[in-house]
Structure 1
Amino acid sequence: MLPFSAIDLSCSAVKALSYEPPGSRLDGWLAHTLAAGFLSDGGPLGRYSYLMADPVAHAELTYDDPRETTAFLAEVTAAITPDNEMPKIGDTPTPPFTGGLVGMATFELGLRLEAMKRRPFRIAGRKAWPELTVLCYPAVLVFDHHRQTLAAIGRGATSAEAVAACDRLIDLYEGTPASAVVSGGFLDEPLCLETPDGVHEDKVAALIQQIHAGDLFQANLARGWTGRLRRGVRPGAVMAALHAAGPAPFGGFLGLDERFVVSNSPERFIRLDADGRLETRPIKGTRPRGRTAGEDKDLAVELSASEKDRAENLMIVDLMRHDLSRVADVGSVIVPALHVLESYPNVHHLVSTVTGRLQTDKTAADVISATFPPGSISGAPKVQAMKVIHEMEAARGPYCGSLFFIDAGGAMDSNVLIRTLAMERDQAGRWNIRACAGGGIVADSVPRAERIETETKLSLIKGVLEG
């Protein structure tokens, strides 16, 4: 691996391939060294999917690392500059990601950023997970769902290096076998619930009392499930099955040797365009999909009309307006969409959109430092909600963190790691997994309803894992 200071991404090269959906070789692709990807549903928010592997640089900010997050990010983003050449793919727009950095931040990075009491995240008592991981990929496969095209983009210090990076990735992809997607049933036994139903409802009730006492307005309270994949089942099979069962606009995965994160997230955290436009899309408000068309419509109407869910959403919109204002031009932060209904395979959600324009002296690294963790999965006020979460939950790890990319030219996009699995391989070669689901608790929350909401949100993942 190279030091990040030695990376040069200034030149680019593009080669076209025959199109196939990004799920076609997922199982095999995730078996490659430090494989990563962003998988969209091809809808209005998800035009592109990306696959990467074999990075040239890899850095981690571990639980016991004394470095400041800002210093770490400054180091790893040294090669990111608007002067880097931006490739063109025929007559289509340049995709947001053309090679560069991919990172994963755990929820606990937020505790570090706020100088709060911290704790490590572990699975099955093993070594603590890093709080921030960043890798540099000099080549990327770009799937354009709208035009149904596939291209490889390579980067390097010279045109020849860029072409070589492009060719290596193409060879790797063409040598990856097609996936035989299995619909589900990957566990030896059903998922094990960490927090029993009654205990979770008691925690919700206690949190409601704190809200009534004026300690805070809202906090996201989650609980976890654990399990283990059957012998011989790889993370790629799970990712492929999730993507096939219910693709989401902001899904993705990252392999870190003996660890994996796979996500089917419907939520964007922060997008930064090359021209400085910022966007965040917080989700607050959930209903299950109905068993019939009539029931489904009734549930959607109920959610859209719910004063409780709209108030919950508005609190987080105000929080995200504040967070974006820390790096945006004065007066540029607006809310172009509020309480919009969006429907996914197993849930309806209320989603709002907040936009702004980045200050000219700020970068993607500044955006991460100023806004993490996402407000929708912490609460309001954010720091006080994080303190409550710390008292009531185990460490979250990747759950409610973010998977992100920073393009060589400076653009960024990121998800909120909900509908997400953290996986770790044990000494016997078996993959231990942990999944979580939660919801925003406000003054008029009902403990039983909040508990049921966690089950609704986990239903797609649970169905795929348990078959």
Structure 2
Amino acid sequence: MLNLNEFLAYGEEGYNLVPVWKNIKKTQISPISIYEALANKSYSYLFELSEKHEDKYRATYSIVGLPCHQRIEIKDYSIKVFDENNTPTYITDIPPLDALRQILASYRVPKIDQLPNYAGGLFGYFGFETTRLIEPKLQANTRKKTLIDLPDILQIVSQELIVVDHRNDLIYVIVHAKPTESQNFADANLRINQIISELEKIPYQQQANFSPSTTTDRTTWFKDMESHFPQLDFQMAVNKIKEYIKAGDAMQVVLSQSMSRPLKANAIQLYQALTSMTNTPYCYLMNVEDSHVVGASPEMMVSLHQNKLISHPMAGTRHRGMNQQEDDALKAELLADNKEIAEHIMLVDLARNDIGRVAKTGSVTVNNLLSVEYFSHVMHIVSEVSGEKMDGIDEIDVISSTFPAGTLSGAPKIRALEIIHELEPYGRGVYGGCLGYITWNGDINLAITIRTGLLHQGQLYVQAGAGIIDASRAEREWQETIEKNSMMMHAAYQAEQFSL
């Protein structure tokens, strides 16, 4: 814990914002219960991180961002910065990502070793249309309409948060304050005590029991799904991509489709259902006024910690077996599939190139090439690409270099993005971008927004893609997008049944 003298000393050292905190012992109250009781309003979030232990991901940190109107919204080339009173200021004289860089630099916050790595900073998403702000060749394209009218980039300035440290059985309650006078320190501690008091009032609830549904039930429910890229049009687009590939324009293009249907359940119920049936490194729920982003992503786009860059390209999939013997057989089949291996190696090379643009020369390495990771329903081929950040490179440079992931675009990346813009009927919005945090000190941890739903005014939108290559069969690629959406739709079905 920080004392008053330490707090004021940070101000004398030039810092303009300081985290004040208290620890309490972790209880049996679940992070989603904490979120529901204390944070379930606009511009709040729950972000749960897990690390692999043997063949299973185990929770490390659950971060509850309390509601905060301070945020940055970027849409096309329009930049709005909202203050704590929800009043916007418009920035028009510099490019959007440079504006974001300047805003980050304006917060001078000390790194305190007693706190978790993420103890405040920016939290939010970079939607797929961020590509137009990064790649000059794409700026000539008119921004495509998205199905839901949200900012292309939304970043919450997170200054009040609760961090559950599962490894050390602690809960950190963190409130930031300006180190200019002692009253600010007193106010921060008063707010912390209020939050702790509210935490102690949360009743213990057993985890919701989502009973298995029958295939017949799910099939009937799925029939009400509306595709926003009809099957015939999608298959024609697949064939068009194959023509581009034969002409030498691209090696692979990831083509996606969005589907939607009404959902008689809320975002918290959807999150509970989704997280009860999957085991992934990232789970998240973000409240954006009348929309909620809910997801369980298996794939990191990029992380940066202590100058180490990491990316986890993931491509190549099989369903899980019924037992260990079946799992072993399916794993062997996957690793013997030349098409899957060739696609994965291509995407590893793309990740090496992306990381290499912001890493020190000679530092980029590929670790655990072609390893197989097991998730609740599927197994994937995963590799790790890492490097040491180059001097003079900041977090916005890292995001710009690695965005979007090659597994969501294709190769060569820029030409694949041009083809996606030409053929997909709508902008992708949140899907296919990334979501996560940027710390005050420039560390980042960003998940690719796949296996993610957008709940908007009682309608659930899901999206998935298929990597199109020369050997692709159009009908099979359509079916792959259906299969990739099945986990989210299964969770939606379960949430709806639970809410009745």
TM-score greater than 0.5 by the shorter chain = yes
Q: Which amino acid aligns with 2:463?
A: C
CA contact (8 A) 1:285 1:313 kept: yes
CA contact (8 A) 1:38 1:251 kept: yes
Rounded Cα–Cα distance in structure 1 between residues aligned with 2:343 and 2:354: 17
Moved more, 330-339 or 34-43: 34-43
1:436 match? 463
Rounded Cα–Cα distance in structure 1 between residues aligned with 2:97 and 2:49: 30
Q: Which amino acid aligns with 1:457?
A: K
1:271 matches 2:287: no
Number of residue equivalences: 445
Q: Displacement, 1:177?
A: 5.8
1:262 match? 294
Within the candidate set 116, 119, 140, 2:143 is matched to 119
Rounded Cα–Cα distance in structure 2 between residues aligned with 1:436 and 1:300: 26
Within the candidate set 76, 87, 94, 1:63 is matched to 76
1:84 match? 110
1:222 match? 256
Within the candidate set 298, 306, 322, 2:353 is matched to 322
Within the candidate set 486, 491, 497, 1:459 is matched to 486
User: Which structure is larger by alpha-carbon Rg, 1 or 2?
Assistant: 2
Q: Which amino acid aligns with 2:66?
A: A
Q: Displacement, 1:448?
A: 3.7
Q: Displacement, 1:173?
A: 4.1
Rounded Cα–Cα distance in structure 1 between residues aligned with 2:105 and 2:191: 20
Rounded Cα–Cα distance in structure 2 between residues aligned with 1:168 and 1:406: 27
Rounded Cα–Cα distance in structure 2 between residues aligned with 1:378 and 1:457: 16
Structure 1: gaps of 5 or more residues: 1-6, 89-93, 426-430
SS in 2 for 1:71: helix
CA contact (8 A) 1:249 1:265 kept: yes
Within the candidate set 45, 62, 69, 1:49 is matched to 62
What aligned pairs does 1:59-458 form with structure 2 within 5 A after superposition? 59-63=72-76, 65=78, 68-80=95-107, 84-88=110-114, 94-115=115-136, 116=138, 117-123=141-147, 128-158=149-179, 159-160=185-186, 162-164=188-190, 166-174=192-200, 181=208, 183=210, 190-230=224-264, 233-273=265-305, 275-291=306-322, 293-393=324-424, 394-425=426-457, 431-458=458-485
2:12 match? none
2:18 match? 10
Q: Displacement, 1:40?
A: 3.2
Rounded Cα–Cα distance in structure 1 between residues aligned with 2:336 and 2:186: 58
Q: CA 1:121 to 1:96, structure 2 compared with 1: closer, same or farther past 3 Å?
A: farther
Rounded Cα–Cα distance in structure 1 between residues aligned with 2:390 and 2:444: 15
Aligned-pair Cα RMSD in Å:
2.8
Rounded Cα–Cα distance in structure 1 between residues aligned with 2:38 and 2:222: 24
Q: Which amino acid aligns with 2:27?
A: Y
CA contact (8 A) 2:77 2:96 kept: no
The percent of aligned pairs where both chains have the same amino acid is 27
SS in 2 for 1:466: helix
Rounded Cα–Cα distance in structure 2 between residues aligned with 1:335 and 1:240: 35
Partner deviation per Cα, 1:203-259 (whole Å, 9 max, x = no partner): 3233223212211011111111111222xx321111121111213111212111112
SS in 1 for 2:354: helix
Q: CA 1:80 to 1:349, structure 2 compared with 1: closer, same or farther past 3 Å?
A: farther
TM-score, with structure 1 as normaliser: 0.86
Q: CA 1:13 to 1:284, structure 2 compared with 1: closer, same or farther past 3 Å?
A: same
Rounded Cα–Cα distance in structure 1 between residues aligned with 2:370 and 2:346: 12
Partner deviation per Cα, 1:78-100 (whole Å, 9 max, x = no partner): 2455x613141xxxxx5321111
Rounded Cα–Cα distance in structure 2 between residues aligned with 1:259 and 1:108: 18
Q: Displacement, 1:165?
A: 5.1
SS in 2 for 1:242: helix
1:19 match? 27
SS in 2 for 1:311: helix
Q: CA 1:220 to 1:396, structure 2 compared with 1: closer, same or farther past 3 Å?
A: same
2:5 match? none
CA contact (8 A) 1:188 1:229 kept: no
Rounded Cα–Cα distance in structure 2 between residues aligned with 1:47 and 1:143: 8
SS in 2 for 1:36: strand
Rounded Cα–Cα distance in structure 2 between residues aligned with 1:17 and 1:54: 23
Q: Which amino acid aligns with 1:323?
A: D
Q: Which amino acid aligns with 2:358?
A: V
SS in 2 for 1:77: helix
Q: Which amino acid aligns with 1:31?
A: N
Q: Which runs of 4+ in 1 moved over 6 A?
A: 184-189
SS in 1 for 2:386: strand
Moved more, 364-373 or 139-148: 139-148
1:3 match? none
Rounded Cα–Cα distance in structure 2 between residues aligned with 1:352 and 1:121: 34
Q: Which amino acid aligns with 2:110?
A: N
1:31 match? 40
SS in 2 for 1:190: coil
CA contact (8 A) 1:47 1:146 kept: yes
SS in 2 for 1:461: helix
Q: Displacement, 1:120?
A: 4.5
Q: Displacement, 1:30?
A: 5.8
Structure 2: gaps of 5 or more residues: 1-14, 79-91, 180-184, 495-500
Rounded Cα–Cα distance in structure 2 between residues aligned with 1:408 and 1:386: 31
Rounded Cα–Cα distance in structure 2 between residues aligned with 1:30 and 1:98: 16
Q: CA 1:202 to 1:286, structure 2 compared with 1: closer, same or farther past 3 Å?
A: farther
Rounded Cα–Cα distance in structure 2 between residues aligned with 1:358 and 1:309: 30
Q: CA 1:189 to 1:201, structure 2 compared with 1: closer, same or farther past 3 Å?
A: closer
CA contact (8 A) 1:30 1:235 kept: no
